Amino acid sequence: DAQGKTAEALAAYERALALNPEHASAWYNKGVALDAQGQTEEALAAYERALALNPEDAGIWNNRGYALLGLKRYDEAVASIDQALALEPEDSDWWDSRGESLLEAGRYQEAIAAYDEALKRSPDLTSSRQGKARALRVLGRDAEADALERDGSQGSAPPQP
């Protein structure tokens, strides 16, 4: 089962870290495994240890942001994801993460802007379309949300005559 495999992975990362406590990837992967087990505080600590060793890894900043989001520490989550964007400003996934964190924080206009940035880079990014539609609906802009969902369900293929 998935939980058993996660526990096995966690044990492997613990062994790796016992041999080399300065292994940033092992700390990162330990964080991922802890997150999968719902141990968000512990995952956050692992991500922070990984960042202390490798502060230039945008993926670690992004995952740290998601851990903070899970703890409802919204401003910190956005700031962490912004660090990922500072390192890799063209990554649509980081823009999508920013949109999600802003949406969860109730900052709907900013979320829409972040999702727009993601969609500018990856027009078929379903999570960004869905997140933007959610934000639009909260703002009472149902017609725009409907159009976005309708366009998204057709993909990016050109219309047939």
Q: Is 158 exposed, middle or buried (0-12, 13-18, 19+ CB in 10 A)?
A: exposed
71-90 pLDDT, tens digit per residue, is 999 999 999 999 999 999 99
48-63 pLDDT, tens digit per residue, is 999 999 999 999 999 9
Rounded-to-integer distance, Cα 124 and Cα 129, Å: 8
CA-closest candidate to residue 77, choices 61, 92, 91: 61
Q: Mean pLDDT over residues 93-113, rounded?
A: 98
Query: How many residues are present in the chain?
Result: 161
Tell me the pLDDT of the chain averaged across its residues: 92
106-147 pLDDT, tens digit per residue, is 999 999 999 999 999 999 999 999 999 999 999 999 999 999
Is the model's pTM score more than 0.75?
yes
More confident residue, 94 or 23: 94
